[in-house]
Amino acid sequence: MQGGSMLGKAVEKVTRFAFTKNRGDRPDAENLLVILTDGQSEDKIQEPVEIAKKNNLTVLVIATLEANPKYIMELAGDMDNVFHFHADPQKSLPLKLAERINTLSSIPSPPQFEPLSTIEPPTTTIRILGAHDMLTVSLPSEEYDEVTPGAEGETQRALNNTF
């Protein structure tokens, strides 16, 4: 690729054409633009960013570590809207970005559910009638291989293979 970024022109086009009623923009939905940048542009961004803000467009910036902080701040307007690659290894970039979008969104977040850990897998009970006694065994369903009726030796071999 030749040449540098033209972020000013990109922000201007998105502001003018992407968030329109004809393209599905809704007044009840937050307008968010996510920009991935190295923090350098060959054109001016001040005016397009101001127009974007006047049109209620929030700019979120994902920046490389080498990005110029002043330029990034100019794009985002708020440090809460700036995300860096590899800045916080404990929290992934997609998770941080999703959390920020949720805080900006007027739609309430879905409730968080804890996984159930008390559910036990279903079991299958097998009763084997022999000549002298009866044997009852309960097995987890996923470990149970169907035992077909046959000689006692075959049934015993099938049970031994299961345990």
Q: Return the C-alpha torsion angle 145, 150, 156, 160, nearest 10.
A: -30
pLDDT at 129: 58
CB 137 within 8 A of CB 126: yes
Q: Which residues contact 132 (CB under 8 A, 6 or more apart)?
A: none
User: What residues does each domain of the chain span?
Assistant: 7-104, 123-157
Each residue's pLDDT expressed in tens, for the chain with a length of 163 residues = 455 789 999 999 999 999 888 888 888 888 999 998 888 888 999 999 999 999 889 999 988 877 888 888 999 999 899 888 766 656 677 788 888 888 887 655 555 656 655 566 666 655 555 555 555 555 555 544 454 455 555 555 555 555 4
Burial (CB count within 10 angstroms: exposed 0-12, middle 13-18, buried 19+), residue 117: exposed
pLDDT at 143: 47
Tell me how far apart the alpha carbons of residues 95 and 99 are, in angstroms, rounded to a whole number: 6
CB 75 within 8 A of CB 38: no
User: What CATH topology corresponds to 7-104?
Assistant: Rossmann fold (3.40.50)
pLDDT in tens, 50-71: 999 998 899 999 888 778 888 8
Tell me how far apart the alpha carbons of residues 6 and 143 are, in angstroms, rounded to a whole number: 61
- For residue 96, give the nearest of 110, 85, 83, 86 by alpha carbon: 83
Q: What is the DSSP letter of 65?
A: T
What are the CA-CA distances from residue 117 to residues 15, 41, 111, 120, 123 (Å)? 48, 51, 18, 8, 17
